[in-house]
Amino acid sequence: MNTYAYCNPLPKLSLLGEISKWVLDNCDTITVTGNYSKKFLNSIGVNESKIFVLPHVIDERFKSKSVSKEYDLIYVGRLAPVKHVETLIKSVELIKKEFPSIKVAIVGDGECKTKLEALTKKLGLDNNINFIGYQSNVWDWYNKGKVAVLTSEREGFPYSVVEALSCGLPVITSRCGDVSDVIKDGYNGIIVDSYQNHSSFTKAALELLQDSQMIEKYALNALKTSQYISTRSVVIAWKEILLGPMNK
């Protein structure tokens, strides 16, 4: 850990990195997941004019539904070291001091599940955090939550963020990868600078959970943001890449 390009100054390119850059330098077109990725490639010398950001499309089943909210916070994703779900669990311990009834769903599976369950038990949060496991219908689980949380150390483009927005959930997220392309701090979510700062995640969660009007406002903005994510936007982007901007 702590060696990822998204979190620390870039190291000198390795031999593999130099080969990868040579390949990129000899490509006519490069597509990336967001503006952070574009800036990253440009920072190592890749010609910016041939780097294009492609919009993202997700399953149309990710949409807001009128169902009861069973969980205050929801995490959806792999239970892997790079996801740092322990930050969320430590935040819940602090949130519980001011919000004793806090309910959290952790949807997903992975190598860290046993360790995370042990931490939950150690902190006395068995009644507050539910480990749901892998679910194929994650859109239904998003709709059971009020606010989505992402605590990743790094991401390319975090699809879980777009999925949450499409279901009308504000997102509290670490500043990872291209997340700033879709999450606007104070508009449809809250961005925390460090994935390790569980105190900041706690503050962000309490700010939302203790203000139902703020959640409602952010939720509406989340749905507005999701409207710009469509198959049509991808088609337009590819037309611009292949034919030029005048052929949209």
Highest mean pLDDT: which range of 10-19, 130-139, 148-157, 177-186: 130-139
The CATH number covering residue 158 comes to: 3.40.50.2000
Report in angstroms the alpha-carbon separations of 4 from 70, 73, 152, 166.
35, 27, 11, 29
**227 vs 151, residue with greater confidence:** 151
Q: Is residue 86 part of a domain?
A: yes
Residues 135 and 182 in one domain: yes
Q: How confident is the model at residue 248 (pLDDT cuts 50, 70, 90)?
A: very low
Given this model, what pLDDT does residue 95 score?
98
Given this model, what pLDDT does residue 3 score?
46
143: pLDDT strictly greater than 90:
yes
Q: Flag the least confident range among 130-134, 151-155, 222-226, 228-232.
A: 228-232
Residues 204 and 101 in one domain: yes
Q: How confident is the model at residue 4 (pLDDT cuts 50, 70, 90)?
A: very low
Instruction: Tell me what percent of the residues of the chain surpass a pLDDT of 70.
Output: 85
Q: How confident is the model at residue 180 (pLDDT cuts 50, 70, 90)?
A: confident
Residues 103 and 214 in one domain: yes
Residues 86 and 172 in one domain: yes
**229 vs 138, residue with greater confidence:** 138
Q: Is residue 64 part of a domain?
A: no
Residues 107 and 182 in one domain: yes
Phi, psi of 14 (to 5 degrees): -75, 175
Q: Is residue 94 part of a domain?
A: yes
Helices (H) and strands (E) in the chain, counts: 9, 8
231: pLDDT strictly greater than 70:
no
Given this model, what pLDDT does residue 14 score?
75
The mean pLDDT value for 223-246 works out to 70
213: pLDDT strictly greater than 70:
yes
**Please, what sign has the CA dihedral across residues 131, 135, 138, 140?**
negative
Q: Is residue 3 part of a domain?
A: no
The mean pLDDT value for 77-97 works out to 97
Report if pTM > 0.75.
yes
The mean pLDDT value for 25-47 works out to 75
The mean pLDDT value for 21-48 works out to 76
Please state, rounded to an integer, the average pLDDT across all residues of the chain: 86
Given this model, what pLDDT does residue 140 score?
97
Q: Is residue 141 part of a domain?
A: yes
Provide the domain limits for residue 138: 71-226
Residues 84 and 193 in one domain: yes
Q: How confident is the model at residue 233 (pLDDT cuts 50, 70, 90)?
A: low
Residues 88 and 159 in one domain: yes
Residues 133 and 50 in one domain: no
Instruction: Tell me what percent of the residues of the chain surpass a pLDDT of 90.
Output: 61
Instruction: Write the DSSP symbol of residue 246.
Output: G
Q: Is residue 2 part of a domain?
A: no
Residues 164 and 129 in one domain: yes
Residues 50 and 126 in one domain: no
Q: Is residue 28 part of a domain?
A: yes
Q: How far apart are the first and last CA of the chain?
A: 43
Q: Is residue 108 part of a domain?
A: yes
CB within 8 Å of 202: residues ≥ 6 apart: 91, 94, 95
SS3 labels along 149-198: EECCCCCCCCHHHHHHHHCCCCEEEECCCCHHHCCCECCCEEEECCCCCH
Residues 163 and 77 in one domain: yes
What's the domain count of the chain?
Answer: 2
